[in-house]
Amino acid sequence: MFIDHPPPRDKQPNPYKGNRGVMRAWRALKYSLSGFKFAVFEESAFRQELALAALLLPAAIFLPVTAVERVLLIGSMLLVLIIELVNSSIEAAIDRISLERHELSKRAKDFGSAAVLVALGLCLLTWASLAGPVIVDLVRTAFF
């Protein structure tokens, strides 16, 4: 049984956290779609990675691979997009705080950029190891 404890006196409840249930889920969906829209229209790196995903997704669907391999191919693409969204949010928060050049701001942005690079490397490794041999076999049987 759960006991509902009131918040501590020194902490006032967040007025933006009052929604519960279906209304909260609806608003969360609207905020998520808004974030996606901002990423598409404002972030060129996200658009580039989204274009790459648009090319690779049909390949992942139609390549003759196992279901687990298909999930890994698609998941590695989605991971790049997820990390790019997180990186963009870090950059926006840093820019909101201050546009002046500061070593900690640079470090935070560089960490986010490095995370995107690692995700891209993982995506490349996944595609090279899972889709690469299949594509080579398809080309070999088609032309040789």
Q: Which residues are catalytic?
A: 84
Q: At what angle do helices 44-62 and 21-42 cross, to 10 degrees?
A: 110
Burial of 53 per CB tally in 10 Å (0-12, 13-18, 19+): middle
Residue 57, both tokens: 């997704």
* Tokens encoding 124: 């490349």
How far apart CA 116 and CA 109 sit, in angstroms, is: 11
What letter does residue 14 receive in the DSSP assignment? P
Cα angle for residues 73, 75, 80 (degrees, 5° grid): 105
